[in-house]
Amino acid sequence: MALVTGASRGIGAEIARRLARDGFHVVVHYAHGAAEARDVCAAIERAGGSASLLQADLSMSDGPQNLADAFAEPHLDVLVNNAGIAPFEAIEDMSEGSYDRLSNVNMRSVFFVTKYLLPKLRDGGRIVNLSSIVARTAFPGIPAYSATKGFIDVFTLQMAASLGARNITVNAVAPGVIETRLTTGLLEGGGSDAVQAMQALSGIGTPDRVAGVVSFLVGADGGWTTGQIIDVSGGSKL
């Protein structure tokens, strides 16, 4: 069984669909996009997979505990901490409220969802956290968002070391610019050309590229890989 947070659309939805194809029952978590989450579950089931829904607002302080309480299954094999928000705001423009919401979703929820679900995670299980290349390379104008992804990288490393005794692997996946609803504005006009100019590989990344790496990390061939941040950026800013 796999739980994917923030799986109603974009990268999270594609991860959910891929893990269902890999044979997992997938718990599709969402905060507000109930109709979209139902569509993801329906698509999984039409393809012969198995899925269920779980709602919790991870921007709220009690969100992680509510998620854990709503997860009624006795055991979990895979946890994918995908939920995240990306307010692309410069330090001059960011309010304390916006910062607090960003911190709650991108950092606090990852920490406490992991904490609260660890008792249910089987020995030999897998955790995958969604990071970003902005944790290692500068993109002007998004300091707070970038810092949250730096937290993910450090948290991944620490948890990999502490959970090794249970044979639980903990890794992070760090996408570059991926074609989703979030990046529509970025890719319009000459944006697509600008993105490709900073990549070693041509083209724009799609959610299935990220889902494929997650599939490897939680599958049989990923069992000897832990504590790693896997770049999925097409070689951005090499």
What residues does each domain of the chain span?
Answer: 2-232
HEC readout, 47-110: CCCEEEEEECCCCCCCHHHHHHHHCCCCCEEEEEECCCCCCCCCCCCCCHHHHHHHHHHHHHHH
235: DSSP letter: S
DSSP secondary structure code for residue 227 in this structure: S
Residues 6+ apart with CB under 8 A from 72: none
The predicted structure's pLDDT at residue 189: 67
- Per-residue pLDDT, averaged over 9-38, amounts to 97
* Residue 99 is a catalytic residue: no
39-67 pLDDT tens trace? 999 999 999 999 999 999 999 999 999 99
Task: Give one DSSP letter per residue of 23-42, joined into a string.
Answer: T-EEEEEESS-HHHHHHHHH
User: What confidence score (pLDDT) does residue 237 get?
Assistant: 83
First to last CA, the chain: 36
Which residue is listed with tokens 């249910």?
120
Q: Read off the pLDDT of residues 78-120 as tens digits, 9 standing for 90 and up.
A: 999 999 999 889 999 999 999 999 999 999 999 999 999 999 9
From the candidates 30, 99, 116, 145, which is the catalytic residue? 145
Residue 203: predicted pLDDT: 84
Q: Quick one: average pLDDT of 70-76?
A: 94
Task: Say yes or no to pLDDT of 21 above 70.
Answer: yes
pTM to 2 decimals?
Answer: 0.94
Nearest alpha carbon to residue 84 among 111, 66, 102, 62: 102
> The domain at 2-232 falls in which architecture?
3-Layer(aba) Sandwich (3.40)
Give the separation between CA 107 and CA 185, rounded to whole angstroms.
25
Categorize the per-residue pLDDT at 190 as very low, low, confident or very high, splitting at 50, 70 and 90: low
